[in-house]
Amino acid sequence: MARLFGTDGVRGVAGRDLTAELAMDLAVAAAHVLGDAGAFAATGRRPVAVVGRDPRASGEFLEAAVVAGLAASGVDVLRLGVLPTPAVAHLTAALGADLGVMLSASHNAAPDNGIKFLARGGFKLSDAVEDEIERRLGEDWSFPIGSGVGRVRDAYGEADRYISHVLTTVSATLDGLNVVVDCAHGAAHMVAPEALVRAGARVEAIGARPDGLNINAGYGSTHLDKLQQVVISRGADLGVAYDGDADRCLAVDHTGAIIDGDHIMAILAAAMHGEGLLAKETVVATVMSNLGFKLAMRDTGITVVETAVGDRYVLERMKSDGYNLGGEQSGHVIMLDHATTGDGLLTSLHLMGVVAKAGVPLKELASVMTPLPQILINVKGVDKGKASEPELVAAIAEAEKELGETGRVLIRPSGTEPMIRVMVEAASEEHATQVASRLADVVRTACA
């Protein structure tokens, strides 16, 4: 059977793939694996969990199911309400919780939802721990009764604790900076504008009116056209966009040019390097990062360490080797001195802080790197398990030989959708497009 946990938790269409029953079962298993449910009888203290969600309508019934599973297992639950994933991660640590739960499908459309679990300290789980939770689904548990059952209370006021935290991490004032922020009708719709205003920026918020069904619909980090239009029409200094759960951030400069995660990491790494704050003069990136990013870092005197795709793999490498900056081209940026996961709001505050301190436009700062043309084609509706078919392997080898040292090929099954991603870099966009299109055709036939 396919693994239940994907790249970022358990995800699927809410009510069909991700049902209330599954959500409750996952919560019960997670309570025993992460919270040592039953500890009340042995120690006199019940485990504590914090639960947050994004504004999806399905988050309401999934939250109820998760809370029920946790409390029935003897875990006290603090309901945080609608908050970004990094806020839930921070509060898991700040409130001394034994585990955290976030209900979100990130950048996916409203019908999807997901469950992400966080360990003590607010860190994402390893594959081994996720496998243990999955293995223990449906066990014949002995549930507590009477005073042993978990208690549930609302803790919606904890949002300010998170805002205050991210503001303490930025030394530069944003006074006079005119910014547009796109909240994707998602989890950051209240905390992000509030934090940026308190940091001193003049803020215009778009995509900040969630109705439960419009999350990521035409707004946010996967739909930057509206942000580009508003930044240009308002004459703003820059714009930033989050995804549905605000664990990632992308930006646009005053001309509307897109500043992706590679650019953001390059800007932050160069600034931290200049101030002596970049641990081991190294930044951690994934195999998806543009070759231009790696060349720019080399020229700046910064080492790039690569991991598999997924911000938790970046985090694992950062923690194991003592690095403090890493991330993905998609905008997941981890600043480990201040957060345990990718944090869109934190990233945007520090990016704006560099702009304010340097006193130059974001466009100029972004020129630290020149990206090579990179074409990404998402081939949908294919069998991800066939990504190593001989026909495809041969086509990849041929493409790599054709590109030589001036480009590269990366074929990667999606961790969350029935899709295979085809990425090609080359010296010219035309060449990259030709090779990527040819490989995508092979994927469609070989992986049908």
User: Catalytic positions, please?
Assistant: 106
CB 349 within 8 A of CB 199: yes
From 177, 231, 91, select the one nearest 351 (Cα to Cα).
Answer: 177
Strands 48-53 and 374-380: unpaired
Contact call for residues 77 and 96 (beta carbons, < 8 A)? no
> Alpha-carbon distance 152 to 155, whole Å?
10
Which residue is it, tokens 């020229």?
299
Q: How far apart are CA 424 and CA 408, in angstroms?
A: 6
Inter-residue contact 313 to 307 (CB < 8 Å) = yes
Give the burial string for 13-45 (b: 16+ CB within 10 Å, else e). Answer: ebeeebbbebbbbbbbbbbbbbbbbbebeeeee
Compute the distance between CA of residue 83 and CA of residue 338 in angstroms, rounded to an integer. 18
**Closest by Cα among 419, 390, 415 to 10:** 415
Pair type for strands 10-13 and 112-118? antiparallel
